Chain A
Amino acid sequence: MATLQNTSVHPASDAATVMVDIRHMNKWYGEFQVLKDINLRVESGEKIVICGPSGSGKSTLIRCINRLEEHQDGDIIVDGIPLTADVKNIDQIRSEVGMCFQQFNLFPHLSVMENCLLAPMSVRKTSRTEAKRLAQHYLEKVKIPDQADKYPSQLSGGQQQRVAIARALCMEPRIMLFDEPTSALDPEMISEVLDTMAELAADGMTMICVTHEMGFARKVADRVVFMDLGCIVEESDPDTFFNNPKNERTQKFLNQILQH
């Protein structure tokens, strides 16, 4: 079985490298503080699930990791590279970090294959043949190799999201961020995307997922992080988190979300 070419084992060091190190991070939107003293360490190969009510800042948090949002205070270090206003650092970090969005954000005017070729050819200057090979490989990985010439609008939501995952993987990132990847999908398509993500996890990818899919969290996550009102309220392994949450707010949230 072909393993994904990347990520968890840094050639020059041992297996436990810190991929994402966030220290005392604070972020404001004008007067309103949306992230408060965030501290989070993600080791190589770890799968983190972040959950919480809407407005808790969880999407903002992961968007800060690849600088789609800027933090005003504190440090974020991604794979040893400090995340600052320095464009070189940002570019380097973005080529190591892949992201999937709730709305997929595939480029509608390009075919599936072209969506996957665009970044490697433009950013890494990969040749077209090599990029095609990569694209073909990852499209097979997400189980839609035959749709390469279709356009996003011709695919179902689940298929589009899987293409989005393949597109991000074509940049051979070391970390994958997922921002509620299944929230915009019809229920019958959620599992095909979650299965793809679980496979990715099993192959050793470092992942940070914001999601409401607790079944996925229970099965795949190494750690579950609960956020509320901009703070990390609780952080523990899935067992403890779901069965013995330490914090009252966590318990309340779990009661609400596990109703159905």
Chain B
Amino acid sequence: MTFDYLAIWDHRDILIDGTLKTLLISAIAIPAGVCIGIFVCLLRISNRRLLRWPAIAYIEIMRNIPLLILLFMVFYALPFYGIRLSGLTTGFICLSVYGGAYFAEVFRGGVEAVPKGQFDAAKALGLKYGFYMRRVIFPQLYSYVFPPATNIALTLIKESSLLSMITVAELTYAAHDINGRTFTPVETFATIAIIYWGISIVFLNLTSRLQSRIEMDPVSQQIAIR
């Protein structure tokens, strides 16, 4: 079996464009997902059923259907209602919305990990909800939620490859493109696998450094000691 890597090298510009697209998509979808996650989490932990149930429904739906179906629904079905979004926009929206549900669950887990007594003490002191969520609860959350949240972020980076199926020119699409020209599926797909692998290694490296920095912070250490 021969490996024809020259063919791929010739088309490296397509690969580079694809990689950059993938990174761009992730860089926008992840923070958006986090914001949605925070919002949905607050709804999810609310005492009012009217706020809680939509949040639960949203989370359960996103956790039980494949992202691909969601992408197809937004990309192929919405036009029937007059909403025609580009592949890229669809991708952003779907990734953020999909990721948001997972982030929401992680944040909820973090809130529940904070001892109930913290809420009691804050309320007994007369602190208002918004204030104590920000100043008492959230700072204690951080060390709990960071590791699982980075996993979700990494998943979103990988899931961006699905956008190739709605014509977004990210990395996987680039591979299909090159393969279509050079008929070297093994080499192209193996190459993008390596590129994705590289991205994930760099990402994990950065986040674990960030994690250590957080753990070194005296505030987190106080929380961890408890």
Contacts and interface: CB of A to CB of B under 8 A. Distances in A.
A119 B128 CA distance: 10
Contacts of A97: 124
A109 B124 contact: no
Contacts of B220: 109
A98 interface: yes
A123 B125 CA distance: 8
Contacts of B127: 118-119, 122-123
Interface string A110-121: 000000001100
Nearest to A120: B125
Interface in B117-140: 117-118, 120-128, 131, 135-136, 139-140
B126 A105 contact: no
A171 B117 contact: no
B213 interface: no
B126 A123 contact: yes
Interface residues of B, number: 24
B226 interface: yes
A101 B120 CA distance: 9
A239 interface: no
Contact of B121 (A67, A101, A123): A101
Interface string B93-132: 0000000000000000000000101101111111110010
Interface string B193-226: 0000000000000000000000000111011011
A106 interface: yes
Nearest to A103: B117
Nearest to B226: A108
Contacts of A103: 115, 117
Given A151-B218, A151-B222, A94 B123 contact: yes
Nearest to A63: B120
B222 A152 contact: yes
Closest 8 A/B residue pairs (Cβ)? A105-B121, A105-B117, A94-B126, A119-B125, A99-B124, A153-B225, A109-B219, A123-B126
Interface of A: 66-68, 91, 94-95, 97-99, 101, 103-109, 118-119, 122-123, 151-153, 164, 167-168, 171
29 contacts: A66-B124, A68-B120, A68-B123, A68-B124, A94-B124, A94-B125, A94-B126, A98-B124, A101-B124, A103-B117, A105-B118, A105-B121, A106-B121, A108-B223, A109-B140, A109-B219, A109-B220, A109-B222, A119-B125, A119-B126, A119-B127, A122-B131, A123-B125, A151-B218, A151-B222, A152-B222, A153-B225, A164-B121, A167-B125
